[in-house]
Amino acid sequence: MLIKTFGAALQGIDAITVTIEVTVELGASFNLVGLPDAAVKESYQRVRSAVKQSGYEFPRHAVVVNMSPADVKKEGAAYDLPISLAILAASRQLDAGQIGSYMIMGELSLDGSVLPIKGVLPMAIAARTLGFKGMIVPKANATEAAVVNNIDVYGVSSLKEVVGFLNGEDALQPVVVNTREEFSKAIDNFDFDFSEVKGQENVKRAFEVACAGGHNILLVGAPGSGKSMMAKRLPSILPPLTLQEALETTKIHSVAGKLKGNARLMTSRPFRAPHHTISPVALVGGGGNPMPGEISLAHNGVLFLDEFPEFPRSVLEVMRQPMEDRHISISRARYSIDYPAGFMLVASMNPCPCGYYNHPTKQCTCMPGQVGKYLNRISGPLMDRIDLQVEIMPVAFEELSSMKAGEGSAAIRERVIRARAIQTARFAGERTVHCNAQMNSRLLTVHAALDKECMKLLEFAMKRFDMSARAYDRILKVARTIADLDGSDAIKPAHVSEAISYRNLDRSGWGATPSGIL
């Protein structure tokens, strides 16, 4: 008897349907075909034990399992449940009438219990798109799958429970999640707030500008000046995720297995902070069993690279193309996958190897030329993609000991949201541009034109500080964002002046001598 059940295979952050065909015939063998990996091939032992422990009989005949399409590699133990159900239906221990109406996925334990799997959310989206009546998944993944509306999701804890449901003996209630209601409740919950930061008003302002325009930012300061502490608070002032962004972000984390049990839709922008010993593959994604990397896990959020110059140059250079294109294409001999990578880069570093170059009270002990050599660990093309370069000075004792709370994240966020709304309207006709940081030369000419007074100021600053040519476009983009924060249609001299102040490392002579010229 031929029985078909349906599962799914992940390709990038999307899923495709896998048809599992099972026949039970005369003979005494078990054959599993359709490009399975080692974990799928080992399903025979798990399925056989689970079937017996659940009180059913494993067929003493030739069992053939085919997984179609045969040219797509099937990975992981998530096919145990649909394979076992197909075998039970083919051996007439299960009513096959309803089995084809559901997409079924789940790993089996030897005792027949159903264990959680990865990538349930994109599978649920695929099931709804293809018109399945419902989806049967492990109970731990049911809430995640139920985020997708207009499809019944049943969470199960054992093989016996699924068999009883499909035979009409037991009733299961679909899991219901009011996605929009829960999303709206949780979008303003944050663990960190800028009101906890003492002093550093100029750095807070730089963060506000960076978030308002989607600009990448580099923080340069001595150890203990608060770089990491402030960076962790950045998501609290970014605009809230839209429902579409939240769904896309949750899909990536679901595929990577980063969602915990009973996870729901992600409501806050991700903040990823990999250690500087990370490998290029771990950063961009890929591997033997391809998985999203850190730049994709930071999609629609923040990628924080602490101790920036300590990252291997080969790791930093692979970010250049994703930072421009907002996605990463990974091509290997056996596969080619695209992952989204629209992240905001926040990097921090010491100003020199000893950490005290240009410090107001401590003496730098670096040899002549060491500071410049340290900065040169970051290539020009990568630095070219960072719009704001901000130097952080240590907080004075008077500010540190003050009991007065600083401005809260909520107030800063309101200004950021207003500025982003202006940009959304401005770039409504552009398919790939959503904020000022993504403007190309054509859009700069249209939206960041300077009057004579502003142009004269910019010319003086570039000649006075001998700024590189790459600083010109960056200053225009940042000045446009500052004008948006002020609600100004035109860029004014004050906006240009502030934008120039965020190009510290572009000034000639920075790092040339222990005294510095900042």
Q: Rg of the chain over CA atoms, in angstroms? A: 28
What is the separation, in whole angstroms, between the first and last Cα of the chain?
A: 80
Under the banding of pLDDT at 50, 70 and 90, the label for residue 511 is low
**CA dihedral over 84, 87, 91, 96, signed as positive or negative:** positive
Q: Degrees (nearest 5) of the Cα angle 514, 517, 518?
A: 110
Residue 209 and residue 390 in contact, taking contact as beta carbons nearer than 8 Å = no
**pLDDT score, position 372:** 81
Under the banding of pLDDT at 50, 70 and 90, the label for residue 337 is confident
**pLDDT score, position 43:** 93
Rounded to 10 degrees, the C-alpha dihedral 412/417/420/425 comes to -150
Report d(CA 510, CA 372) in Å as an integer.
8
What value does the mean pLDDT take over residues 326-345?
Answer: 86
Q: What is the pTM of this model?
A: 0.87
What value does the mean pLDDT take over residues 44-52?
Answer: 94
What value does the mean pLDDT take over residues 256-275?
Answer: 84
- CA 236, distance to chain mean position in Å, is 16
What value does the mean pLDDT take over residues 115-123?
Answer: 93
Q: Which percentage of the chain shows pLDDT scores above 90?
A: 54
Which tens digits make up the pLDDT trace of 359-416? 888 888 888 788 888 888 888 888 888 999 988 887 766 666 666 777 888 899 999 9
Which tens digits make up the pLDDT trace of 459-478? 998 888 887 777 888 899 99
The mean pLDDT value of the chain amounts to 88
Which tens digits make up the pLDDT trace of 69-108? 988 889 999 999 999 999 999 999 998 888 999 999 999 9
Under the banding of pLDDT at 50, 70 and 90, the label for residue 518 is very low
On the question of pLDDT at 503 being above 60, the answer is: yes
On the question of pLDDT at 516 being above 60, the answer is: no
Under the banding of pLDDT at 50, 70 and 90, the label for residue 141 is very high
On the question of pLDDT at 226 being above 90, the answer is: no
Which tens digits make up the pLDDT trace of 427-446? 998 888 889 999 988 999 99
Under the banding of pLDDT at 50, 70 and 90, the label for residue 224 is confident
Give the start-end residues of each E strand in 233-358.
271-272, 285-286, 291-292, 302-305, 327-331, 336-340, 344-349
**pLDDT score, position 105:** 96
Range name among 46-55, 171-180, 431-440 with the lowest pLDDT average: 171-180
Q: Which residue has the higher pLDDT, 187 or 248?
A: 248
Of how many residues is the chain composed?
Answer: 518
Q: Which two tokens mark 11?
A: 């390709």
**CA dihedral over 463, 468, 471, 476, signed as positive or negative:** positive
Q: Which two tokens mark 265?
A: 């839709």
What value does the mean pLDDT take over residues 486-495?
Answer: 94
Q: Is residue 322 left, alpha or beta, with left meaning phi > 0 and alpha meaning psi from -120 to 50?
A: alpha
On the question of pLDDT at 513 being above 50, the answer is: no
* Helices of type H across 278-353: 280-284, 294-297, 313-317, 320-325
**What H or E segment, with its residue span, contains residue 501?**
helix 493-501
Report d(CA 439, CA 434) in Å as an integer.
9
Residue 326 and residue 274 in contact, taking contact as beta carbons nearer than 8 Å = no
**pLDDT score, position 402:** 65
**pLDDT score, position 515:** 37
Q: Which percentage of the chain shows pLDDT scores above 70?
A: 94
